[in-house]
Amino acid sequence: MMTSELTRFGGLTVQVYVPDIHAGVEFYSRALGRAPNFAPTPDFQEWDHIAPNVTFQVAEGAPRPTYPVRLRVTDIEGERDRILRDASPSYATAIKRFEGLVAVCDFLDPWGNAFGLYQVLFAGGEPPRLTGSNREHMTEVEKRIAGAVVPE
């Protein structure tokens, strides 16, 4: 297990629920760019190492939409286009740029679960600090979820 002086944790597991495991696996296989590599039970499947030490899991059950889990990419435009083309999410935001800091975009799967992408825009050193409040910097998906309104 790899840790650093910043954390005692060596990995992360993210799980979303979908009402139909077959449809969920089909959608996320397209969105993540590959099929799951582990299925311990018929209603639970996972993609190990979608990022270093990160496992993504899909389980059958009632969806519980939450704020997006974002995956780091080096080409946010290209990866956003690929997800739109290959997975056809039910909703997608435009790319929002925080100049010199990060670019983000979010998606909703067909069941309202949020996920997204981010690309770091600063090179080395400390990132710049934004002014204002967190609510001023929310994406459209974050704003709707915070207000208990999920985009259709």
Higher pLDDT among residues 106 and 66, named by residue: 106
φ/ψ (deg, to 5) at 80: -60, -45
3-state secondary structure of 99: coil
CB 67 within 8 A of CB 142: yes
Fold category of 12-146 in CATH: 2,3-Dihydroxybiphenyl 1,2-Dioxygenase; domain 1 (3.10.180)
Residues 6+ apart with CB under 8 A from 81: none
**Residue 81 to residues 28, 36, 63, Cα–Cα distance (Å):** 15, 22, 25
Each residue of 4-60: pLDDT tens digit?
677 777 888 999 999 999 999 999 999 999 999 999 899 999 999 999 999 999 999
The CA R_g of the chain, rounded to the nearest whole Å, is 16
pLDDT of residue 133: 59
Instruction: Give the whole-number percent of the chain exceeding pLDDT 90.
Output: 62
Reading the block at residue 85, the tokens are 């083309």
Predicted TM-score (pTM) of the model is 0.80
Over range 106-130, report the average pLDDT. Answer: 86
| Domain limits, the chain | 12-146
